[in-house]
Chain A
Amino acid sequence: MITVELIKLCRRPRTWASLFLLCALPATIAIFLAVTKVGPAPGEEPAFLAAVLANGSLFPAAALAIVLPIFLPVAVAVIAGDSVAGEASSGMLRYLLIRPVGRTRLLVAKLVAVVAFVLLAVVSVAVTSYVIGISLFEAQPGTTVTTVSGVSLTPTELLVRTAGALVYVAISMLGVAAIALFLSTLTDSSLGAALGALAALVTSTALVTLDAAAAVRPYLPTRYWLAWIDFFRDPILWRDIERGLALQAVYVAVLLAAAWANFTTKDVTS
């Protein structure tokens, strides 16, 4: 069933369209930067963009900062929200279950496909932006790069840290995927599930910046999203990264358990 889900993911035009859009946004920004040479002031959002003009190999990090707030969560929410609800609305859910595919197995396969999409999305953004970065900006392979903390990094170190940041972002996205997947088992409308997940994220983002909500801040799903930047500090600032990972693990575990409990006991009337 996992193979079937992966084949379905690959043969879906939507998958490739959303990946293309994800990669196109950083590329557009890169082109503007390269043409005008007008970078944002150092320290301004999105992170790293100012440094890119000097060194193109930092562009993957900048690209992550560009797609992380909106584009990536939207793409993940759409794919994960569609996973069960989409089958239900197309009527295929009943035929899969009758085939038979066990309900737990179907849910696991859906989850694997969503994880695959998240990884594919993060990696393709990183790879395309690296290629764009070194071809449009001054590439200085072999030379050092300055971190957020002002310390220089060797290319190997940079590679390792970028990889770490990618993994961290991917795991943050799993939280989004878990919310959308859970909602997807509740409704037969994939749009509803995706929008529900996005609504949760927008609420969380709004509360993170609200001082009045300080009491709940550590438990908000987006609270530690930006902790991936800490991979580029020297030494790496593990505190927020660790908390972020633990928080996402709790969200993923609880929501998947809820999705499983709901899906395995629900009447399939679609």
Chain B
Amino acid sequence: MITTRALTKRYGPIVAVDSVDISVRSGERYGLLGPNGSGKTTLLRLILGLVYATSGEIEVMGASVPRRVGAVLPDIGTLVEGPAAYGHLSGRANLALLDRAGPARGGGGRHARRRRIDQALERVGLAGIDNRPVKAYSLGMRQRLGLAAALLNAPRLLVLDEPTNGLDPQGIREIRDLLSELNAAGTTVFLSSHLLAEIEQLCTRVGVMDRGSLVLEESVEVLRAPTGRTIVRTPDVDLAAALLDGRIEARSGDRLVVRHPDPAELNGLLVTAGLRVTEIGAEHRSLEDVVLQVTSAGSDRVDGSGRVDNSRSVDGSGRVDDSGRVDDSRSVDDSRSVDDSRSVDDSGRVDDSRRVDDSRSSGAS
């Protein structure tokens, strides 16, 4: 659906997108993650032909972008960097203008247009919209209107930048369901977000950007592979600790983290020994762990020179302790910089080689 090769975009001295090779396959729900300012939006703009690449190639649905972008854009529905509308017109009038501006897909007659607009409004939950001008809309309504505009053409590819921005939990759920439904009907969904939970629940594959580069591209299933540890809750925590001596990695209250890959087997072991088990299950990596590991602080955070930002301080094994706080066993001196190089192997395990280095110049931004 979307393929880029060594795609690079420079704005003067700033490299916004740095040699990105992304690949979105047909029928996927692809989530693009990354801190603010990591180049997500620029990448989307490049793919849509709004911004011209400094070097590299883009191919969308078989057409080379930006040269032949006009041929494929009718099949793409988009939301880029928030919705936009003419404030003095109603939502319906806005859609009517947009509909008229583009190629008339499915008929240019008055009735066909009306039906298209009604359908799009209904899909996003704005069917009963009145004639108020858009400037009186709430943020959530504008977001829905923007989505309606993206759906006007019944696109084969949806490119959405922060689609749930400004929506309440109910609205987020609705949009998620809508996107899943569209995807089931054959629409490829490519969305960017920094809401990890959002992506985790919706997407089948994720790409993670950091400082302009695509640092990770993997299916969610693989990323969320079991860690080989099992989490056990038991009222007989002392007995369990004694029984599993040496395999307990962490303990807090009635909760144990046991180095054991198979919860069923472990459960049998505990029950045979006469222990009561309240809850047992394999530990999975969360998308959050993965993303925090491979990215640095967003560009909206501005630290003094040489400071190490704690948000990236995950310890060598990539483990986050029970309280959710990062366990930074290697204390990093404030004056030092940290250089991370990580790769994900085929089994989905994140291999972490971290180097602490004394030079102030490299690493943390």
The residues of A with any CB-CB pair to B shorter than 8 Å are 1, 3-4, 7-8, 11-13, 90-92, 94-102, 265, 267-269
Contact = CB atoms under 8 A, between A and B. Distances in A.
A16 to B, nearest CB: 12
25 contacts: A3-B100, A4-B97, A4-B100, A7-B97, A7-B100, A8-B97, A12-B88, A90-B85, A90-B86, A90-B87, A95-B84, A98-B48, A98-B50, A98-B76, A99-B73, A99-B98, A99-B101, A100-B69, A100-B103, A101-B101, A265-B52, A267-B11, A267-B50, A268-B50, A268-B51
Nearest to A95: B84
B102 A101 contact: yes
Nearest to B71: A100
Interface of B: 11, 45, 48-52, 69-70, 73-74, 76, 78, 80-89, 93, 97-98, 100-103, 149
Nearest to B72: A100
Given A11-B93, A12-B88, A100 B52 contact: no
**Would you call the interface of chain B mostly helix, strand, loop, or mixed?**
loop
A1 B85 CA distance: 17
Contacts, number: 71
A198 B101 CA distance: 31
A267 B84 contact: no
B325 to A, nearest CB: 38
Contacts of A268: 45, 50-51
Contacts of A101: 101-102
B97 A91 contact: no
B253 to A, nearest CB: 50
Contact of A92 (B48, B74, B85): B85
B139 to A, nearest CB: 14
Contacts of B48: 94, 98
7 smallest CB-CB distances across A and B, nearest first, come from A91-B84, A100-B73, A99-B102, A267-B51, A268-B50, A4-B101, A4-B100
Contact of B98 (A13, A95, A265): A95
A270 to B, nearest CB: 9
Nearest to A91: B84
A100 B87 contact: no
A267 B82 CA distance: 18
B84 A100 contact: no
B146 to A, nearest CB: 8
A92 B149 CA distance: 11
Nearest to A109: B101
Contacts of B85: 90, 92
B136 to A, nearest CB: 15
Given A92-B84, A92-B86, A268-B45, A98 B97 contact: no
Contacts of A12: 88
In this complex, which of A91, A92, A100, A268 has the most chain B Cβ atoms within 10 angstroms of its Cβ?
A100
Given A94-B81, A98-B50, 16 more contacts: A4-B100, A11-B88, A90-B84, A90-B87, A92-B86, A94-B45, A95-B78, A95-B84, A96-B101, A99-B98, A100-B69, A100-B73, A100-B103, A265-B52, A267-B52, A269-B50
A98 B101 contact: no
Contacts of B50: 94, 97-98, 267-269
A8 B102 CA distance: 15
B45 A269 contact: yes
A13 B86 CA distance: 12
Given A90-B86, A92-B84, A268-B51, A98 B73 contact: yes
| Of listed B80, B84, B85, residue having the most chain A CB within 10 A | B84
Contacts of B102: 99-101
A111 to B, nearest CB: 16
**Which residue, of B49, B50, B87, B103, has the highest number of chain A Cβ atoms within 10 A?**
B50
A11 B89 contact: yes
A95 B70 contact: no
B132 to A, nearest CB: 15
A26 to B, nearest CB: 28
A268 B97 CA distance: 21
Contacts of B88: 11-13
A4 B101 CA distance: 6
A145 to B, nearest CB: 44
Given A1-B101, A268-B51, A269-B45, A94 B84 contact: yes
Contacts of A96: 98, 101
Contacts of B11: 267
A98 B80 contact: yes
Nearest to A3: B100
A254 B70 CA distance: 27
A104 to B, nearest CB: 11
A27 B191 CA distance: 57
Contacts of A269: 45, 50-51
A100 B74 contact: yes
Contacts of A11: 88-89, 93
Contacts of B97: 4, 7-8
A65 B48 CA distance: 49
Contacts of B45: 94, 267-269
Nearest to A268: B50
A268 B80 CA distance: 12
Contacts of B83: 91
A99 B69 CA distance: 11
B86 A8 contact: yes
A262 to B, nearest CB: 13
Contacts of A265: 52
Nearest to A267: B51
Contacts of A99: 73, 98, 101-102
Contact of B82 (A13, A91, A100, A102): A91
Contacts of A91: 81-84
Contacts of A7: 97, 100
Contacts of B74: 100
